[in-house]
Amino acid sequence: MGLFSNLLGLFLRRRGGGVQAALLEAVVGMLTNRQSGGLSGLVNQFGAQGLGPIAESWVGTGKNLPITAVQIQHGLGNQAIGQLSQRIGIAPEQLASQLTTLLPRVVDRLTPQGHVPPAEHLETKGLELLKGLFK
């Protein structure tokens, strides 16, 4: 887990935590995880599952295309959904449903210029977002 994910987790726990906080922390951890390819890896993974235009719309500067819970499960894979749902403590279907709004929003905010930043810059962008939470 990177610096941004750690700081986000600390911030969210101090604000009351809960399922939404755990979910946001998990999403940010996934998007900043260099070992799994981070955000770039996620976009590629969705592309390999035929969901590339949807994920690319979240990165682009235009309107974000919607995604269904079934598509989220297909894009992330059942194993990842299962692990996340166990970690957060909610059913896989509920997790996928919540990710339909959270994942596009977080990806969109981490890519304001319309492209995936290099991995070393992603945590910096995340820290900028975190500073905005304190205002």
Asked if 38 and 28 touch (Cβ cutoff 8 Å), the reply is no
Distance of alpha carbon 118 from alpha carbon 135, whole angstroms: 27
Distance of alpha carbon 6 from alpha carbon 104, whole angstroms: 21
Fold of the CATH domain 3-133: Arc Repressor Mutant, subunit A (1.10.10)
pTM: 0.79
Residues in the chain: 135
pLDDT in tens, 62-111: 999 999 999 999 999 999 999 999 988 999 999 999 999 999 988 988 88
CA 127 from chain center: how many Å?
Answer: 15
pLDDT confidence of 34, banded at 50, 70, 90?
confident
Q: Where are the domains of the chain?
A: 3-133
SS3 100: helix
Helices 92-110 + 69-76 axis angle, to 10? 80
